[in-house]
Structures are given as structure tokens and as C-alpha cells.
Amino acid sequence: MIGKVLGNRYELLQKIGGGGMAVVYKARCKLLNRLVAVKILKPEFTNDDNFLKRFLNEAQSAASLSHPNIVSIYDVGHEDDIHYIVMELVDGITLKQHIVNNTCLPWREAVGIAIQVCSAISHAHKNKIIHRDIKPHNILITREKVAKVADFGIARAVTTSTLTSAGNVFGSVHYSSPEQARGKYIDEKSDIYSLGVTLYEMITGRLPFDGDTPVTVALKHIQERAQEPIELEKDIPESVNNIILKAMEKDQTKRYQSAKEMLIDLEGVLKEPDRNISMNDSLVDNPTIAFKPIDNENIIPEDELTMSSKTKDKELTGGNTLTVWFALATSFIIILIFGYITYKLVAPSINLKPDDFVVGNYIGRYIGEVENELEEARIDMQVKRVYNDKFDKDKIVEQSIEPDKTLTPGGFSVIVLTVSDGPHMVEVPDVTNKDYRKAQEELQNLGLYPVTQPMSHDTVPIGAVIETSLEPGSLVKVGTAIVIYRSTGPDYKSTVVPNLIGKTWEEAVGLIEAANLTIGKIYPEGGGNHYKIVKQEPVASDIVDEGTPVDLYFENAQEARKLKSIKIILLDDKKYGDEIMVVVIVTPSDTQQSETLINECRKKSDFPLNLSIPIPVGGETKLYTKLDNEEPIEQTYADDQGR
């Protein structure tokens, strides 16, 4: 695969990693001239159409994530039977390698890395993406100690595809949550459990659960409680210990309910290592049970609770039995009498049936006002929020029950109020210098309407974005049109070379400037002031770019010189390689200006070299020849006949 170019753009340079499902290559993007990482799926995964569909959908969703602690995904594509993802190339090592290199990490460094990872998965969760494979192998640490989470989007595709394939579900079993091990429903809290295991390994240098087979490890995740980290590393604060245990709770309801909640505790322990971390002990120690209320007079002393039922029965059969029954009967009669009197005296003055409630017209009103009214009237309500261009934020757009309808307070009717969140606004991203097709996709994913317009530019590569019609960072409504100015490269205009033969210097300069061309070399130098032009390069009528130089040959340069043919030979060709650096310079006596005839590599097979050198009539020309690193040879050729 080394040297292969994917998508006519990504040239694979070297293999830098791989795993159970893919191989990673370092590559060069030929369009933007930058290094990237290309992950190529192994052939066994390319035969499953359902897997490929999920894989592409998830990878495209993950490409929308933009966070400093998430490895950016640039492109997704396929060529023949090769399916690949193009992503940011991170200069660093995996967190797993970092742990192995250091045995275990200081707790402050481990918490710092966990904060970055937690921030990354919190961002992903807000965008409805669950990683499902958080582990040190998928976390990269740069040279600047920045943590970057990789494989967003891939993990979900693999999990959903392999849950039904025996053996594959345990690919990352050491970091899997209990619900993953059971093959049950997975949500954001599954990522939190895996992060807890990762933090456990960073601090202790070992995994919380291990075994001979994946099934053994999975069962331990489901059934056993891990040894507390503080028992293995006694120097860590109790608060850090509790964060790990809370993240690794087997019951999802006792775990952190969001990555943001865990992030707050992680950031807090760096500032206050002794802070208290709630472990939801009340949920464990005080389960909810049904019981009958007990009067104070009838509370049984604690020491009596330890008596056997046989002893209690014996006491009840004693002399106090009659007294107890008499007290109970008396109390019952008193309660009946008191209840009857209360009913007769108080009930007539109370209207037990509440007045009916008439539903008002709430459209256009602020939800806060209506909430207070319905709460006072004991009418249940639900709020549904939508983006709306016509109503201000927090104003009611629609109601489920029409005005003037009658409801019974405390009844079963519920009013659903649809509330405006205002216009759906998005932030315009900075797509300058990106490939215009990638920019189009990024803008479309935000709900914007990109329109591409070509524009020439001297430095921005062809196909890259020069600028957009809307400033990056500005807030606009979804559906807004935005113009992408696509570079077509430098804008060169063409012109026709004029005919300069027979013209004088002054005439030639005027024609050249009129054609937006420039003066090139003059032969002989200074000879154009008194003679006419006999030759030009490029020739007349050629179409060239504006600014092209035109070389001029004046008549005295042709008449005053002769050409002499010479040969340059190799005296001992064994001294040279296949290619020989050749430099040939001539200095005519009429101008004393050196002219370079050859300055380049020539093949050994080109020798002997046949050259024509100019010799002034009645004068001479010095020839300077140098081959490779040998000493130069100087020769003089004279015009004997002209003297």
C-alpha cells in the first residue's frame, strides 16, 4: 500500500499503526500539501454492507465534531474495495504507551488527562454521539501533553455490527461497562464507566478486572466490585478515589449522570483535593420500603426488638394483656368520635369540588407568565421547545387545547405548550484554505446553503477556499445562503508577440510595452542602439502570458561573429558515473562578457558533446570547461582567417 494514492489525493507514505479492524498510514494530502493520517478498513469488514453503511454514517457524523481534545476527521471515502477515513495526524503516543512507560501516573497528571477526555466526550454527547470504546489505546497524548480522543464514530459502527458476532463483542472488554458486557442498551453513561476504568488504570497502573478469557473479565464487570484505587495507591486523595468508584458504579442510576457532572468533580479536586465527593450512599443504605405509621406511645424499645418471638408471646399472655386491649379499644372509640365531630362541623364550610378551569389563549404570551397561572390553577402542563422565526424566544407558539375549553383542576388533562427558541441560529465556521467540497459539506451539515463561485488567486491552491461571503464566527439563520469563493489559481492573461524583425531598439521597445511584454536578453549586449533586429525569441504571432520577456538579436551580433564546431570528450570515462555535471562558459573578445552555454547534468552516453561557439571576426573566444569536480580547463579559439 505504500506509495498508493487514494482519491487521487492522499499518498500513503508509511504504516504507523493498526488494530483489529483497520490499519493506519501516514499520508500526504497532495491538494493542501499537508500530512494526515489515513485509516483503512481491513478486507474482512468490507464485505458486510450493513456494517459499511453504519460505518460511513457514523464517521460522517463524527466529522461534525470540532473540539481541541478530539482528533479531527477530514474526509471519508472509498476506492474499489478500499474504505478509508482521513483524519488529523497527531504527533505523540497513545495513553496506553504513556502508562506502560511510566508504570502509573501521578494523580494530578492523571486527573488532568481525564479532564480533557471528559470534556471531549461531553462535547460528543451534546451532539448525540456516543463513543462506546473509550480506552487508553484510543487516546493520544501529544508532545505538549494535550489529550486527543480518536475513533469517534468508528466505535459505534463496530459495536452495532459485532454484537451479534460471537467473539467480537469482547474487543475492549477490559474497559466495557456492565451493560455493554450484557449486550444491553448503551447510553452516555457507558462512556463514563469506561473513562472511570481508564482513570483507574492511569493512577494504579493496573486494570480493575482481569481474567484468562474475555468472558471471565465481562462477568467480573457485571458481578464483582473492584479493589479501591486508594488501597493500591495510598497517596491519592480520597476524593479522587470516590470519583473513580462513582464513575464505575455498576448501576447506571448511581453513576455520574452526565460527563459534565463528572467534569465538575474532576476540576474541583485539582483545586481542593480534600473536597467531599457524593457517592449516592442514600440510594444504597436506605432503600425505599412500605411500612405502617407507628404512634410514639407504641414504639418498641430497641432492647425489646432482640427478644425472641417466643418470649414476646409469653409476656403478652401475662397479666398486662387485658390492659393493652382496653387501651386500644378506648383509643379507637375516641378517634371515631373526633372524626365524626370534625366532619359535621368543618366539612359543610369546605367546597370539596374545585371550580372548573377555562383554558385561555396563550399564543404569543411568555411561557413564564402562563406557567404561574396554570400552576396556581393546578393544571398540568408540558413544554415543547422549537425554533421559530416569527415569535421571540420564550413566547408560546402553539397550545394543544383550544381556548375556552373547560378542564378540571387536578384532573388528567395536560396542556402541551409549544414554546419558541427564536430563530435557529448557527455560527459560521472558518473554512478558508479548506478544499471547497469539504467546506460545502461542513456548511450543509450546519443547515446553511453554500454557493460556489470561482475566483483567481496568486497563492491559494486551486480548489481551496479563498474566503466566504459571511465572516467566520458570525451568527446567521439556518438556511442562509453563503458564497464560497473557490481558487482557480493565478490569473494569467494572454497576449500576441509582435513582429520585431527589422525594427530599431526604440521601435521594438514601444511594441513590446504595448503588448504588455518585457525586454529580455540583448545580443550582443549594448548592440541594439545602432542596429536593426534580425531575430527574436519568442517569434512573432506566438501567444504567451503577459509579462513574458522577449530576447532580441541585433544585426551586428550575426555579422561580426562566426560559429566554430568543437567536441568535448572524456579522456577516461571510467572516472565518471552515469551522469556528469557539465559547465561550459565562453568569453568573446569583442564584448568580454561571459556567456554560459551549458550548466547541467548530462548522461555519459551523450559524450562526445558537439558544441558551436561564437568567435568574433578577427578576434578570439576563451572556452572554460569543467566536468564534475575536476579542475577546469581553459582554451582559446581564434579567428585566424579574419586577421
Alpha-carbon distance of 372 to 375, in angstroms, equals: 5
Beta pairing partners, 468: 484
Cα pseudo-dihedral 404, 410, 416, 418, rounded to 10: 80
Residue found by looking up cell 397479666 in the block: 319
> H or E element: which one contains 635?
strand 633-638
Beta strands in 144-194 (DSSP E): 147-149
Alpha-carbon distance of 463 to 472, in angstroms, equals: 19
By three-state DSSP, how is residue 326 classified?
A: helix
Cβ neighbors of 17 (< 8 A, separation 6 or more) are 23, 24
Alpha-carbon distance of 252 to 283, in angstroms, equals: 12
For residue 602, with 0-12 CB atoms within 10 Å meaning exposed, 13-18 middle and 19 or more buried, which class applies?
middle
b/e sequence 180-218, b meaning 16+ C-beta within 10 Å: bbeeeebebbbbbbbbbbbbbbbbbeeebbeeeebeebb
For residues 32 and 464, is the Cβ–Cβ distance under 8 A?
yes
Angle, CA 150 vertex, CA 149 and CA 154 arms, to 5°: 130
From 75, 81, 133, 404, active-site residue: 133
121 phi and psi angles, rounded to 5 deg: -70, -30
Alpha-carbon distance of 42 to 436, in angstroms, equals: 30
Cβ neighbors of 299 (< 8 A, separation 6 or more) are none
Q: Establish whether 133 is a catalytic residue.
A: yes
Alpha-carbon distance of 62 to 39, in angstroms, equals: 14
Cell of 381: 402542563
Residue found by looking up cell 409469653 in the block: 314
Residue found by looking up cell 506509495 in the block: 3
Question: What DSSP state is assigned to residue 464?
Answer: B
Alpha-carbon distance of 309 to 311, in angstroms, equals: 5
Diameter of the chain by CA atoms?
Answer: 162
Residue found by looking up cell 470504546 in the block: 133
Could you tell me how far CA 96 lies from the centroid of its own chain?
A: 21
Tell me which residue of 222, 228, 288, 226 sits closest to 251, measured CA to CA.
222
Cα pseudo-dihedral 241, 244, 248, 251, rounded to 10: 70
Beta strand 481-487 with 449-455 is parallel
For residues 45 and 51, is the Cβ–Cβ distance under 8 A?
yes
Tell me which residue of 199, 54, 39, 67 sits closest to 124, measured CA to CA.
67
DSSP string, 348-386: GGS--SPPPEE----TTSBHHHHHHHHHHTT-EEEEEEE
Alpha-carbon distance of 569 to 295, in angstroms, equals: 124
Just list the catalytic residues: 133
